[in-house]
Amino acid sequence: MKISRDAVLHVAELAHLELTEAEVETFLRQLDSILTYIDKLNELDTANIEPLAQALFGAASDEEATLRQDQLVSCEVAKEVLKSAPDPSPPYFRVPKVIDR
Amino acid sequence: MTAAAPWSVSSIRAALESKKISARELASEFLARIEKQNPHLNAFLTLSAERALAQAARIDQMLARGEPLPPLAGVPVAIKDVLSTRGIRTTCGSRILENYYPPYDATAVERLERAGAVLLGKTNCDEFAMGSSNENSAYGPVRNPVAPDRVPGGSSGGSAAAVAAGLAVAALGTDTGGSIRQPGALCGIPAMMPSYGRVSRYGLIAFASSLDRIGPFARSVRDTATVLEVIAGRDPNDSTSASIPVGSYVDDLEKPVRGLRIGIAPEYFQEGMDAEVRQKIESGIRLLESLGCQRVDLRMPHTEYAIATYYIIATAEASSNLARYDGVRYGLRAPGTTLLEMYKKTRGQGFGPEVKRRIMLGTYALSAGYYDAYYLKSQKVRALIARDFREAFSKVDAIITPTSPVPAFRLGERTSDPLQMYLADIYTVTGSLAGVPGISIPCGKTRQELPVGLQIFGPHFGESRVLQLAHAFETAGGFGH
């Protein structure tokens, strides 16, 4: 096995995903098969290869050309943004209690 | 109108200018067709009739005042539901965004409307654009208009089906590993993924940010070029958008293709490929040769590693991008007594199985102890795949491949094994990783009348050449609609 049941539970915890018992079993089997396939990459010697994070060309690869000036601009969107919030308490988002006193 | 809508960008302009139809009448006609056909096809998730008719009225006023019309005046378009539309529900095909109304428009959407396009509605797609059949939508699968018991491809299945069924003249899709080109191939219409950085991603709800691209579907290469020219170009709101000037894609379409070198690599003709698809692609290559293109045989040795590379990089980026769906600022919230419990329940209930699977895979690949073995390794192999393309384009002007190894498959036929579904992207993910542009264009049909798509890759920002070849191929092969 490429991945253990404990590892599946740990990853679900890291990803903040509540999984059912059936999902844990299915993902264990499927992730194992996918990771076995991905082992294919080890056939390649990449010791001297620089990783490529993004294929950028032209001026988009030039930070000077793409970073804007750090200037303050007015941004009055709170009212509209809060319209989509599940539990708004303008001008805040309300969430379950984080700290117990 | 008949099942095959005759409308194109240029025929709409002519009809509007000669007062044969008003923009409002045209929009109403399309909205009525959608109302009639969509219950069967499920291509649209939300209609924006009010916005469409208001825009059409503006076009009619321009006509009445004798003002010059913008390039897409009155053209009815559909937008994949991962692109933000101000005040119009945008679900990403997910339950977690079932009631999400974005406060702004994506740049590509804004540019289409500024060019006169009439926005009909939002199209169905695999949840968060993750899938190759549109069967991962929380709102049900889309039917392929060419063969209703089959998938339209994915993830932009709704956009492809809408255009193929004549429910829109053009549509926007997004392509991360093949999600524009593969549904274009399976539905039998042109579909283009431009270079990474050619079209602003501002307002595109992110799946994998180093791979995501926005591009057009249309019924002809000419209309595809027209839409791309409108949406392309630098946007200060996307720092990865390039300031390289946008080509005159439409004006350049008729440029001769004689003497262009087309590369053919055996790695794109491996086993697992449908025999009829192979035969159609081979005759397509001969057609290009008969137009004076010169065939160059080349090797792209890292092609077979592209799926494995892609499914690490894309899922790693997705696991990070989708962390924002936590029930706090927008979308679904499942009740929980603590913040953490609320997060977990919201995400557990809001995401579908494929999205969860990819978040799990991506989180695993980025987790302590596995980062180097999976994520870093994949980025290095990505560099090798990009090198294959760079070396190829030092010898040829374009690379010709099949878009998909198989024609449209039956609904439900491939849903049980995710790995088998991932392998459907085998010929498209390479170009995604390398950042190059690619188009899929119709290349005939199988004996069962299923469309086959031929893919043309060009070098970075080589959209003009790709479109010229596609246009010449479409014209010579009689594949236009």
Region of residue B131 (left: phi > 0; alpha: psi -120 to 50; beta: else): left
Catalytic hit among B22, B137, B179, B432:
B179
Tell me whether residue B155 is one of the annotated catalytic residues.
yes
Q: Is the full-model pTM beyond 0.95?
A: yes
Position A100 confidence tier, pLDDT thresholds 50, 70, 90: confident
For residue A26, the chain B residues in CB contact (below 8 A) are: 353
Helices B275-290 and B463-477: crossing angle in degrees, nearest 10, is: 100
Q: Which of B100, B236, B244 sits opposite A58 (nearest CB)?
A: B244
- β-strands B294-297, B118-123: how paired? unpaired
For residue A85, the chain B residues in CB contact (below 8 A) are: 328-330
The CA distance from A51 to the nearest CA of chain B, in Å, is: 4
Position A66 confidence tier, pLDDT thresholds 50, 70, 90: low
**H or E element at residue B18:** none
- Subunit contact A57:B195, Cβ cutoff 8 A: yes
Mean pLDDT of B122-144: 98
Q: Which of B101, B332, B348 sits opposite A17 (nearest CB)?
A: B348
Position B481 confidence tier, pLDDT thresholds 50, 70, 90: low
pLDDT at A60 over 70: no
Answer for the pair B451, B407: CB distance below 8 angstroms, yes or no: yes
On the CB side of B466, CA atoms within 13 Å amount to 30
pLDDT per residue as tens digits for the range B286-320: 999 999 999 999 999 999 999 999 999 999 999 99
For the residues of B73-85, what is the DSSP string, one character each? TT-EEEEETTB-B
Nearest chain B residue to A79, by CA: B103
Q: What's the Cα-to-Cα distance from B415 to each of B134, B136, B421, rounded to whole Å?
A: 11, 9, 7
pLDDT per residue as tens digits for the range B74-84: 999 999 999 99
In sequence order, the 6+-apart residues with CB closer than 8 A to the CB of B348 are A17, A18, A19, A20, B334, B356
**Cα angle value B208/B77/B471 (rounded, 5°):** 80
pLDDT at B480 over 90: no
* Token pair belonging to B453: 């798509």
Q: How far is CA B151 from the centre of its chain?
A: 15
Return mean pLDDT, chain B.
Answer: 96
Instruction: Report d(CA B241, CA B231) in Å as an integer.
Output: 12
pLDDT at B417 over 60: yes
Q: Which of A10, A40, A58 sits opposite B461 (nearest CB)?
A: A58
Based on the number of CB atoms within 10 Å of its own CB, is B49 exposed (0-12), middle (13-18) or buried (19 or more)?
A: middle
Mean pLDDT of B94-98: 98
What confidence score (pLDDT) does residue B3 get?
Answer: 44
Question: Three-state SS string across B318-384, please?
Answer: HHHHHHHCCCCCCCCCCCCCCHHHHHHHHHHHHCCHHHHHHHHHHHHHHCCCCHHHHHHHHHHHHHH
* Token pair belonging to B165: 């069924």
Catalytic hit among B8, B48, B94, B155:
B155
For residue B351, the chain A residues in CB contact (below 8 A) are: 17
Instruction: Report d(CA B7, CA B33) in Å as an integer.
Output: 13
DSSP reduced 3-state for B439: strand
R_g over Cα of chain A? 23
